[in-house]
Structure 1
Amino acid sequence: MIKKINFYSLSFISIFILSISTSATIPTSKSQASSGVNPKVRTIVLDPGHGGKDHGAVGRSGREKDVVLEVALKLGKRIEKEMPDVKVLYTRSTDVFIPLYERPALANKNNADLFISIHANSADADQRVKGRNGRYTTSVVRKPSVRGTETFVMGFNKLANQDVAIRENASILMEENYKDNYGGFDPKDPSSMIVFQLLKSQFRRESIRLASYMQDEYVRVSRQNRGVQELSLAVLRTAGMPAVLTEIGFISNPDEEDYMMSNAGQDEIVSNLFNAIKTYKTAAER
């Protein structure tokens, strides 16, 4: 049975933090107990974002859930072929919906050494328009010129990135009994982010290291670099190992959508991620 996350009211934040720090499922091998991170990379969990009823971001013809699943499966095969000592697990290998809290729980249960969540980005902005009746209506305006890659680790939000956090955490609403799973946490409410902001991952340093390698690889093939950023993301919060969420491109950008949906583009993205993992593994095991 997977342990569910409880988000208590903000007035009990201190109690909440204490309960999380003592009850989260964290691997406890001797090497991890001494350094906080297992230097050996033997199990990697790949997490294709969204799935099933949760389509994620949508482009002109592609859907995030489909693109990231294809990339994750190709990456897993590449790892298994060229790193025979590494076991690859998937949070999903088909088009199914997996609640956010179950994804890192799978990694924790299998004592994974890395957790990599793969997503595609979208650049949308809310626009308020005043009607003839004096009332305002809000519509979503797409920004097709926005492009690039960025990789997130669990940490403090920057104000400019709250839209990303809200969009990715909104998958919670598609879970059955989400109020029970997350104690009434509202992923659409920016004020709720204060809870996440107080929960820094003990694996932050190694997560940033892996994320930096990923961004370096994207840059190597001339992708626009939006950098490594810290963000309050539910899918990373309880991971008991270095964990990242990488946005492989903007599906709202026609050129990047075509790139991510093409075999050549996916193969290049897979090479970027594989090379980053390989660099991290080599450095960690020295």
Structure 2
Amino acid sequence: MLFAFWVQHLPIHNAVQTPANGAGKSIKAEELAHDPVKLTTIVIDPGHGGHDPGCLGAHSREKHLALAIGKYFAEALKKNYPDLKVIMTRDKDVFIPLEERAQIATKNKADLFVSIHCNYIPKRSSVSGTETYVLGLHATEENLEVAKRENSAILYEDNYMETYGYDPNSPEAHIIFSMYQNAFLEQSIRFAEKVQKHASLEASRRDRGVKQAGFLVLRHATMPSVLVEAGYLSNAAEENYLRSKKGQVEMANALLVAFSEYKNEVEGIAEGNA
């Protein structure tokens, strides 16, 4: 695990080259730096929205469930951490391009980015549980399919090839994601592990583990970031759970406890290194 923010060890002249919006655009290390002592800002990103419904369950749409969980999470954070700046990429049923979601976090100098989604596997109605993704390569075919499904949101955007500079499902994307995966990887994994732990403890969710895949929304985030797949809409019992207020509140509470534990650890480590 990383015991200090990675930018403290990154030469100040280093830059991460991005293919988005043309070659040569870069994010300098100093632009990635955050205050290592306090976590002051979190961005919650309910996936999909507007004309992008996300996964379709028998009785629900992913966009609505992600928004409900996100709102409960934001409410819990504000109640427990009144000094914490809590920002939602969307608080109603509207479409937000993937790149813009990450830009909201970067613009507000967020210390953590949490994207909330629901999963779906056709013809496999018995699959259940919560899994949390960090940016990385598609280690398995299943991870690749999840990433493709979530990245397909860009197809709802105008001129997505011009905006992102490549097709996320192309062989080229594999190389691009490998360039980004180490930036905040260890911190992202640390938080992801806590999400999985408390989804099991607080919401009695099956722990499907921390995984890596090339999600565009994480690739554009310049801070520790995760994408949480709360459950499977292809599973009738899971869909009913995620549609219920009980399920949504329990998932939000799991995220709250994970954040609290992560915040205490990071701030304690930073103070110890001061």
TM-score (norm 2): 0.85
Contact 2:233-2:239 at 8 Å conserved across structures: yes
Query: What is the root-mean-square deviation in Å for CA atoms of aligned residues?
Result: 2.0
Structure-2 residue corresponding to 1:121: 119
Alpha-carbon deviations, 1:83-102, whole Å to 9, x = none?
A: 11101101111101100000
> C-alpha separation between the residues in 2 aligned to 1:68 and 1:163?
19
What is the Cα deviation at residue 190 of structure 1? 5.6
1:45 aligns with 2:43: yes
Secondary structure of the 2:31 match is coil
Alpha-carbon deviations, 1:110-146, whole Å to 9, x = none?
A: 001110000000012xxxxxxxxxxxxxxxxx21111
Secondary structure of the 1:269 match is helix
> C-alpha separation between the residues in 2 aligned to 1:224 and 1:67?
18
Alpha-carbon spacing, 1:196–1:87, altered in 2? closer, same or farther (3 Å): same
What is the Cα deviation at residue 254 of structure 1? 0.3
What is the Cα deviation at residue 189 of structure 1? 3.8
What is the Cα deviation at residue 26 of structure 1? 3.3
Structure-1 residue corresponding to 2:215: 233
> C-alpha separation between the residues in 2 aligned to 1:102 and 1:5?
16
Report % sequence identity. 43
Contact 1:201-1:237 at 8 Å conserved across structures: no
1:122-141 alignment runs, 5 A limit? 122-124=120-122
1:151 aligns with 2:145: no
**2:33 maps to which of 25, 28, 34:** 28
What is the Cα deviation at residue 74 of structure 1? 1.0
Structure-2 residue corresponding to 1:163: 145
> C-alpha separation between the residues in 1 aligned to 2:115 and 2:172?
25
1:208 aligns with 2:213: no
What is the Cα deviation at residue 28 of structure 1? 3.3
What is the Cα deviation at residue 5 of structure 1? 5.8
What is the Cα deviation at residue 191 of structure 1? 5.8
Alpha-carbon spacing, 1:143–1:190, altered in 2? closer, same or farther (3 Å): farther
1:112 aligns with 2:110: yes
Alpha-carbon spacing, 1:152–1:26, altered in 2? closer, same or farther (3 Å): farther
Structure-2 residue corresponding to 1:94: 92
Alpha-carbon deviations, 1:213-251, whole Å to 9, x = none?
A: 000001214311110011111000121111000010001
Structure-2 residue corresponding to 1:252: 234
Q: Which amino acid aligns with 2:106?
A: N
> C-alpha separation between the residues in 2 aligned to 1:250 and 1:190?
28
What is the Cα deviation at residue 7 of structure 1? 7.2
Contact 2:21-2:162 at 8 Å conserved across structures: no
Structure-1 residue corresponding to 2:15: none
> Which has the higher Rg, Structure 1 or Structure 2?
1
Contact 1:162-1:190 at 8 Å conserved across structures: no
Q: Which runs of 5+ in 1 are unaligned?
A: 9-15, 32-37, 125-141
> C-alpha separation between the residues in 2 aligned to 1:190 and 1:176?
22
> C-alpha separation between the residues in 2 aligned to 1:164 and 1:7?
25
What is the Cα deviation at residue 270 of structure 1? 0.9
Secondary structure of the 2:95 match is coil
> C-alpha separation between the residues in 2 aligned to 1:167 and 1:210?
23
Alpha-carbon deviations, 1:43-79, whole Å to 9, x = none?
A: 1100000000100001001000000001101110110
What is the Cα deviation at residue 162 of structure 1? 0.6
Secondary structure of the 1:284 match is helix
What is the Cα deviation at residue 39 of structure 1? 3.6
Q: Which runs of 5+ in 2 are unaligned?
A: 1-17, 269-274
Structure-2 residue corresponding to 1:279: 261
**2:76 maps to which of 56, 64, 78:** 78
> C-alpha separation between the residues in 1 aligned to 2:217 and 2:30?
14
> C-alpha separation between the residues in 2 aligned to 1:22 and 1:214?
28
> C-alpha separation between the residues in 2 aligned to 1:167 and 1:279?
31
What is the Cα deviation at residue 265 of structure 1? 0.8
How many aligned positions are there?
249
What is the Cα deviation at residue 259 of structure 1? 0.2
Alpha-carbon spacing, 1:261–1:208, altered in 2? closer, same or farther (3 Å): same
**2:249 maps to which of 259, 264, 267:** 267
